[in-house]
Chains A and B, each alone.
Chain A
Amino acid sequence: MRVKAREILIGLSAALLLALVLSPFASSSPDGLEKVAERQGFLAKGEGEPALKAPVPDYAWPGVADEGRATRIAGVVGTLVTFAAAWGVAALIRRV
């Protein structure tokens, strides 16, 4: 039943590959909520100052001119951070 280290690596690699290879090809059309907001005229309500300025807005690594590369870097970093965060949360829950 145990998950082997190799299998964890395979799973993480699959996620990293998605972020590295496919992320620049994602559709840039508005998502469902944005589209509804646009059509019903409340999109502007969400375009004010955000409550918190995030370091990597819109999945584009700052200072990287190439748009695709900026997205790839953001994707890979985000995937690794999420992996570590979820593992950490789970390990913490198991311990206490």
Chain B
Amino acid sequence: MHIPDGFLAAPVWAPLWAAAAAGLAGCVRSVQRSLSDRAVPLMGVMAAFIFAAQMLNFPVAGGTSGHLLGGVLAAVLLGPWAGALVIAVVLVVQCLLFQDGGLTALGANIVNMSFVGSACGYWIYAAVRTATSGKTLVAAAAAAWCSVVLASAACAVELALSGTVPLRTALPAMVAVHALIGVGEAAITCLVVASVLKVRPDLVPGKAGCA
């Protein structure tokens, strides 16, 4: 759901750029306090993996494709702030090198996929994990699905505010297709978290917030 240039009006994308910058500065401050040495190379690996996985579009119904966003995956392994930073790095590389997502829309894409997709996704993960008394995979799957649907809803609101398409058509359309794509997100997130749990269970933090 990388928004290209032209979909958003300046009064919408400019404040979102500011919000993205402010949010990322907040992430940097939080990460400074909490990032352990081991997480530094791990952030590189996580970003590389998510970049590669995002290239692998899988077909969903009706001639549409989707790909992993990876927000919850990154946040489960790195915590919400480092997770959001990793997704932001991926989005910046995709925008600057591959024209995937417009430069004007970069702030919106960071807000949708880093903040909504990763940081908010993490809180859903943490809440479900607590509610299910520690069922990591169930929580990761549920949060992964929710994160994609919520990010698509945020995108629909931005499109509507830009006058590109009315909210009453954009919101149901975006949420419907991403409810399907979210199933793929949940499956891939589950698969990767399960693999990590098998080989390095200590990389999946037991308590909320510790990276």
List chain A positions with a Cβ less than 8 A from chain B: 1-3, 7-8, 11-12, 14-16, 18-19, 22-23, 25-33, 35-37, 39-40, 42, 45-59, 71, 74-75, 78-87, 89-91, 93-94, 96
Contacts and interface: CB of A to CB of B under 8 A. Distances in A.
Interface of B: 1-7, 28, 31-32, 35-53, 55-60, 62-67, 82, 85-86, 89-90, 92-100, 102-104, 152, 155, 159, 164-165, 169-170, 173-174, 177-178, 181, 200, 202-203
A29 B42 CA distance: 32
Contacts of A48: 5-6
B4 A46 contact: yes
A51 B96 CA distance: 10
21 contacts: A2-B37, A16-B52, A18-B56, A22-B56, A33-B3, A36-B174, A40-B165, A46-B7, A51-B103, A54-B97, A54-B99, A56-B97, A58-B100, A78-B51, A78-B93, A82-B89, A82-B93, A86-B85, A86-B90, A90-B82, A93-B85
A2 B38 contact: yes
- Chain A CB count within 10 A is highest, among B3, B37, B41, B42, for B41
